[in-house]
C-alpha cells in the first residue's frame, strides 16, 4: 500500500495512517488509541535498547483528516530489526473494544 502522507528522507516507518473524525469530542479517543497501539513498540525499544521516537502529524486528504504517526530511528540496525519484527504496519482503522479501549488496526 502506498502511503498517503509524505515521509521525509530519514530512517522512519509509518506506524499509523488512519482517517479520523475532525471533532474535538474524539480527540481523547484517538490519543488513547494511539498510545495503546504504540505501547508494544515502546516496550520493544526498551527491551532491545533501541533509540526510537514517534512523530504525530495530521494531513487533510480530500475531505478527510488523516492521523499519521511515524517511528523515527537513529540507528540503521534498529531500523532494520524493527521492520523485520513488525511487518503489519501501517495501521489504518480505529477499533474500539466493548470495554471502550481504542486501538489502531489493519483493515
pLDDT tens digit at each of 107 positions of the chain: 445 454 445 789 999 999 998 878 788 889 999 999 999 999 999 999 999 999 999 988 778 889 999 999 999 999 999 999 998 889 999 999 998 899 999 87
Is residue 1 included in any domain, yes or no?
A: no
Is residue 6 included in any domain, yes or no?
A: no
Is residue 27 included in any domain, yes or no?
A: yes
Q: Which residue has the cell 511487518?
A: 87
Q: How many domains does the chain have?
A: 1
Is residue 43 included in any domain, yes or no?
A: yes
The predicted model scores a pTM of: 0.84
Is residue 18 included in any domain, yes or no?
A: yes
**54 CB contacts (<8 Å, ≥6 apart)?**
15, 38, 41, 69, 70, 71, 72
Is residue 23 included in any domain, yes or no?
A: yes
Is residue 52 included in any domain, yes or no?
A: yes
Closest to 68 in 3D by CA, of 44, 90, 94, 37:
90
Is residue 93 included in any domain, yes or no?
A: yes
- Taking the C-alpha atoms of residue 12 and residue 40, their distance in angstroms, rounded to an integer, is 17
**106 CB contacts (<8 Å, ≥6 apart)?**
88, 91, 92, 93
User: What's the domain range around 59?
Assistant: 12-105
Amino acid at each position: 500500500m502506498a502511503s498517503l502522507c509524505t515521509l521525509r528522507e530519514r530512517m522512519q516507518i509509518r506506524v499509523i495512517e488512519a482517517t479520523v473524525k475532525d471533532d474535538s469530542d474524539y480527540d481523547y479517543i484517538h490519543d488513547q488509541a494511539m498510545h495503546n497501539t504504540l505501547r508494544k513498540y515502546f516496550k520493544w525499544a526498551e527491551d532491545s535498547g533501541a533509540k526510537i521516537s514517534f512523530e504525530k502529524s495530521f494531513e487533510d486528504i480530500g475531505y478527510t483528516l488523516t492521523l499519521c504517526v511515524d517511528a523515527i530511528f537513529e540507528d540503521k540496525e534498529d531500523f532494520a530489526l524493527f521492520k523485520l519484527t513488525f511487518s503489519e504496519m501501517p495501521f489504518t482503522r480505529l477499533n474500539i473494544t466493548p470495554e471502550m479501549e481504542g486501538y489502531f488496526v489493519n483493515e
